[in-house]
Amino acid sequence: MRRVILAFTIATLLGVSAAGANVHVNATGQVSLDIPSSWKVTDSTKGKTQKGGSSGMLVAQSKDDAVGLIFWVVGKADAKQAIKFLDNALRDKIKDAKWDKAQDANINGMKGIRNGGTATIDGKEAVLMLAIVGPTPTKKGVIVFAAVEKAKLATHKTELGNIFDSLQPVKK
């Protein structure tokens, strides 16, 4: 959890073209996500299973520290339980979160919800983005969460959309 908190203390998003992306695979969930190669990435997904059925997480932050992102495979595809788990992990850093109405999502064949909102992180206004989808090929759920410094949203909006849309099952 400290990695998550550290990422959001430092983080807010950066913009890089899709050509400069690295594919990150979560072996437990058999899903991948493309993250710009210029971003700092801390990956604890390499074969570890953590409390609550999660299989580790990848935490990324943009080069300009304007964006923080979490890619997390969890034990169940239950959106309500996953949101509760995420809220507990981030409640000390994210203040005054206000969420829009969740929308149905279908990201490369995985169904769930997408949502957006606003909050305050370390005294700065932030825009929140969330996708919770599943099941993965191994019957897991996936959380992708991003927080962007509101003042830098325009710079990173397309890039973030590309990251979220890159989530996909690993082809065998």
* pLDDT for the residue 116: 95
pLDDT at 54 over 70: no
* pLDDT for the residue 4: 36
pLDDT at 131 over 50: yes
- Residue 45: pLDDT band by 50, 70, 90 thresholds? low
* pLDDT for the residue 78: 59
Where does residue 123 fall: left (phi above 0), alpha (psi -120 to 50 degrees), or beta otherwise? Answer: left
Taking Cα atoms as reference points, which of 117, 149, 159 lies closest to residue 8?
149
Going by C-beta distance under 8 Å and a sequence separation of 6 or more, which residues neighbour residue 23?
A: 32, 33, 34
Give the DSSP per-residue string, 45-114: -SS---GGG---EEEEE-TTS-EEEEEEEES---HHHHHHHHHHHHTTTEEEEEE---EEEEETTEEEEE
Q: What is the domain count for the chain?
A: 1
Cα(49)–Cα(131) distance, integer angstroms: 21
State mean pLDDT over 67-82: 78
The domain containing residue 8 runs over which residues? 2-169
- Residue 65: pLDDT band by 50, 70, 90 thresholds? very high
* pLDDT for the residue 100: 94
Name which residue leads in pLDDT, 27 or 160: 160
Q: Comparing 75-84, 111-120, 128-137, which segment has the lowest mean pLDDT?
A: 75-84
Tokens 């997904």 map to which residue?
Answer: 45
CATH of the domain at 66: 3.40.1000.10
pTM score, whole prediction: 0.80
- Residue 88: pLDDT band by 50, 70, 90 thresholds? confident
- Residue 48: pLDDT band by 50, 70, 90 thresholds? very low
